[in-house]
């Protein structure tokens, strides 16, 4: 395939009208660089000779190429998001440059998703159990308390009237304020 202005317009039209990536040849970006270099020379010559048609042609091609890149970038980002959630590899045909981009984005999304998992898990990033906080206080429950999630995202309860136990100081103070327990001294 010989890359020219008409082919750029065709690719642009297909990219805009499809949710899938348009199949590009592996050497597309190399050919595109060569085409742009040739068009750039013509563009600078047209500036010297005040040829508006050549100037407009290069400007239009530049806009089309930028829009193709933007559309393809959005499609690749969407594919990476879907792949991270479904663990399915897309059947889209990326160029080698786009494949590297896809893999890097996918890795970052998966890393970010792992952050969410560690927030809700009771294990630290090293896989060890979190140590109990040192600020535990002894309390005596004054009335029935259903189970709840504390400020530390751990589940507590249910607790029964008269029960004696240790709770983190922050949680104990909140429950004491609501007159649900008494601090043991």
**pLDDT tens column, 71-110:** 999 999 999 999 888 878 777 778 888 889 998 998 888 8
The CATH number of the domain holding residue 167 is: 3.40.5.50
pLDDT value at 6 more than 70: yes
Structural domain count, the chain = 2
Look at residue 152 and tell me whether its pLDDT is greater than 90.
no
Contact yes or no for 58/40 (Cβ under 8 A):
yes
Report angle CA 38, 41, 44 to the nearest 5 degrees. 150
pLDDT band at 9 (very low <50, low <70, confident <90, very high): very high
**Rounded to whole angstroms, how far apart are CA atoms 25 and 93?**
9
Q: Are both 104 and 156 inside the same structural domain?
A: no
Burial of 126 (0-12, 13-18, 19+ CB in 10 A): exposed
Contacts for 5 with CB less than 8 Å, ≥ 6 apart: 39, 57, 61
Same domain? 88 vs 152: no
Same domain, yes or no, for 83 and 164? no
pTM value > 0.85: no
The pLDDT value given to residue 121: 65
Instruction: Determine, yes or no, domain membership for 131.
Output: no
Q: What is the distance between the alpha carbons of residues 78 and 111, in angstroms, rounded to a whole number? A: 16
């Amino acid at each position: 395939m010989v890359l020219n202005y008409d082919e750029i317009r065709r690719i642009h039209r297909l990219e805009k009208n499809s949710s899938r990536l348009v199949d590009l040849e592996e050497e597309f970006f190399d050919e595109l660089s060569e085409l742009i270099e040739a068009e750039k020379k013509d563009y600078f010559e047209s500036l010297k000779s005040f040829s508006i048609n050549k100037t407009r042609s290069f400007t239009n091609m530049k806009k089309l190429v930028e829009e193709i890149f933007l559309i393809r970038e959005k499609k690749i980002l969407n594919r990476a998001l879907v792949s991270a959630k479904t663990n399915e590899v897309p059947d889209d045909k990326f160029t080698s440059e786009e494949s590297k981009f896809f893999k890097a984005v996918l890795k970052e999304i998966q890393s970010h998703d792992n952050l969410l998992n560690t927030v809700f898990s009771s294990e630290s990033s090293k896989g060890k159990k979190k140590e109990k906080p040192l600020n535990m206080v002894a309390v005596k429950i004054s009335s029935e308390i259903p189970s709840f999630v504390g400020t530390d995202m751990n589940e507590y309860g249910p607790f029964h009237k008269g029960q004696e136990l240790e709770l983190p100081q922050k949680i104990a103070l909140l429950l004491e304020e609501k007159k649900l327990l008494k601090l043991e001294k």
